[in-house]
């Protein structure tokens, strides 16, 4: 993993941008496709060789979707010796999917996340919870990764990755440590009554003033987020196996609390920090790259 700059002390919300190249070779005979997932907070691009993950890049989404898409894609290409012209088909997805200029086609992130989760964890996956920067999606899928039923809560940012960023800043805890720290409580506190990001500051300050530790405040907030997510999963109907994708899949505080509330274990999170393991935050881009392959092959046959 290549380190991109250093984290400034004041930017606790800032998560690590990185890119990865898998140790495998490709030739000009291989079918190389890409998926670009422009999310509200993170932009992810994945490159696949014959439908196998080859490289990916994750960057922060800027104010301009086309630029963010281009940045993520060139980040995924970095260190691969591939050129943009080697990509036979590109699928754009995510919140900003209509603004991915290099894409041959735009597909909803629901379909892509379903396909990507099926790719990362295999055909056992039936329920996917995608916790993005700005919305939460609960998706039921079949053994092929096809969407059966889904619902999305994009009404507000409560309980999303962006909400966590605000909390990280507020409590001055690096975003990547939030999950662990939220679990450092002897007894799980009651969830906060309001997960509203706009009121988060007031609510957290009130609790801190009452003498709550940062850990306890985080636990209460994370718990409330997990309750919201569990509600969504129950509405769409929980069927095992359950997995979490998106940026918050990396938040152990969220994932473990969902497991407790629902009474099920999620399939193990791939150890994405290590070479050779897939990152569930990139699930949508993997799915998009797989659709790109299928669509290219379909076009060739026609």
**8 near 14, Cβ under 8 Å?**
yes
Q: How far apart are CB 131 and another protein at their closest, in Å?
A: 15
Which residues are registered as beta bridge partners of 93?
A: 37
User: By CB under 8 A, is residue 261 in contact with another protein?
Assistant: no
**Residues 8, 25, 83, 155: which binds another protein (CB under 8 A)?**
155
Residue whose C-alpha is closest to residue 218's, from 258, 172, 262, 153: 172
Window of 162-170, 197-205, 231-239, 246-254 that interacts with another protein by CB under 8 A: 231-239
Q: Which residues are within 8 A (CB) of 57 and not within 5 positions of it... i.e. 6 or more apart?
A: 17, 18, 19, 20, 44, 45, 72, 73, 74, 75, 76, 77, 78
DSSP code for 188: P
For the chain, first and last CA: distance in Å? Answer: 41
**13 near 177, Cβ under 8 Å?**
no
**Residues 99, 134, 231, 277: which binds another protein (CB under 8 A)?**
231
Q: Using CB under 8 A as the criterion, what x/- string covers residues 99-118 for binding another protein?
A: --------xx--x-------
How many Cβ atoms from other residues are within 10 Å of residue 215's Cβ?
18
User: By CB under 8 A, is residue 230 in contact with another protein?
Assistant: no
> Of 74 and 153, which CB lies nearer to another protein in the complex structure?
153
> Of 1 and 98, which CB lies nearer to another protein in the complex structure?
98
DSSP code for 16: P
**Residues 104, 153, 213, 277: which binds another protein (CB under 8 A)?**
153
Q: Is the peptide bond before 241 cis (omega within 30 degrees of 0)?
A: yes
**Residues 87, 128, 236, 244: which binds another protein (CB under 8 A)?**
236
User: By CB under 8 A, is residue 275 in contact with another protein?
Assistant: no
User: By CB under 8 A, is residue 238 in contact with another protein?
Assistant: no
Which residues are registered as beta bridge partners of 48?
A: 33, 53
Residues of this chain that bind another protein (CB under 8 A): 107-108, 111, 142, 146-156, 228, 231-232, 235-236, 291, 294-295, 298
């Amino acid at each position: 993993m290549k380190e991109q700059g250093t984290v400034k002390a004041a930017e606790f919300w800032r998560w690590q941008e990185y890119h990865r190249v898998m140790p495998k070779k490709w030739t000009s005979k291989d079918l190389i496709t890409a998926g670009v997932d422009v999310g509200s907070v993170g932009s992810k691009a994945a490159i696949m060789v014959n439908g196998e993950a080859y490289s990916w890049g994750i960057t922060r989404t800027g104010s301009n979707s086309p630029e963010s898409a281009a940045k993520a894609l060139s980040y995924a290409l970095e260190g691969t010796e591939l050129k943009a012209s080697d990509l036979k088909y590109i699928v754009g997805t995510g919140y900003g999917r209509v603004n991915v200029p290099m894409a041959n086609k735009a597909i909803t992130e629901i379909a892509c996340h379903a396909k990507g989760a099926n790719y990362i964890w295999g055909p056992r996956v039936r329920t996917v919870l995608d916790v993005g920067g700005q919305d939460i999606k609960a998706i039921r899928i079949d053994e092929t990764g096809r969407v059966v039923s889904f619902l999305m809560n994009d009404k507000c940012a409560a309980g999303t990755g962006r909400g966590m960023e605000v909390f990280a800043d507020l409590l001055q805890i690096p975003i990547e440590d939030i999950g662990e720290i939220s679990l450092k409580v002897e007894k799980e506190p009651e969830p906060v009554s309001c997960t509203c990001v706009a009121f988060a500051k007031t609510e957290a300050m009130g609790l801190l003033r009452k003498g709550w530790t940062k850990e306890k405040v985080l636990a209460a907030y994370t718990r409330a987020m997990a309750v919201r997510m569990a509600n969504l999963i129950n509405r769409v109907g929980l069927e095992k196996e359950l997995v979490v994708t998106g940026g918050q899949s990396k938040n152990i505080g969220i994932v473990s609390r969902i497991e407790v509330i629902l009474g099920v274990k999620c399939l193990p999170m791939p150890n994405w920090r290590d070479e050779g393991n897939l990152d569930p935050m990139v699930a949508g881009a993997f799915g998009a790259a797989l659709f790109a392959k299928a669509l290219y092959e379909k076009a060739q046959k026609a």
